[in-house]
């Protein structure tokens, strides 16, 4: 999500967001591991170190910069407008922000994957 800046981090109105699936063929074995490892605290492992959490985080990180760039582009070209701390697009108030999922998926499917910021 990209938020309008407020004093509290990530609490302002949502400007834009994107979604990605966490179910499907690439995910089921990780969900199986999660169910098997449900008592993570007793193993000394943290939730953040679990493979399912790491994959969700990685997928989010892949989309973070393209989402930010796309939100800025949409604002610059007037496709998204902020009026009185409200988010507008296509002449309509966007209570939950503008869904840029298809734009972001197009971007990440065209860019080569890399370990650092490209």
* Residue-level pLDDT at 31: 87
* Residue-level pLDDT at 34: 78
CA–CA separation, 11 and 88 (whole Å): 18
* Residue-level pLDDT at 73: 96
- Nearest 5°: phi and psi at 54? -60, -40
* Residue-level pLDDT at 102: 96
Tokens of 93: 């108030």
Tokens of 110: 């065209």
Tokens of 59: 């997928």
Q: Cα separations (Å) of 68 from 2, 41, 56, 58, 110?
A: 7, 35, 18, 16, 17
Question: Which residues in the chain show pLDDT less than 70?
Answer: 35-46, 111-118
- Nearest 5°: phi and psi at 109? -80, -15
């Amino acid at each position: 999500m990209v938020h309008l800046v407020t004093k509290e981090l990530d609490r302002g109105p949502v400007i834009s967001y994107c979604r990605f699936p966490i179910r499907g063929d690439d995910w089921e074995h990780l969900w199986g591991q999660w169910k098997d490892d449900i008592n993570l605290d007793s193993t000394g492992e943290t939730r953040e170190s679990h493979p399912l959490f790491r994959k969700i985080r990685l997928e989010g990180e892949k989309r973070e910069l393209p989402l930010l760039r796309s939100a800025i582009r949409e604002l610059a070209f007037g496709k998204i407008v902020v009026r009185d701390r409200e988010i507008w697009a296509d002449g309509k108030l966007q209570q939950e922000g503008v869904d840029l999922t298809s734009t972001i998926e197009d971007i990440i499917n065209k860019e080569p994957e890399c370990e650092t910021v490209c």
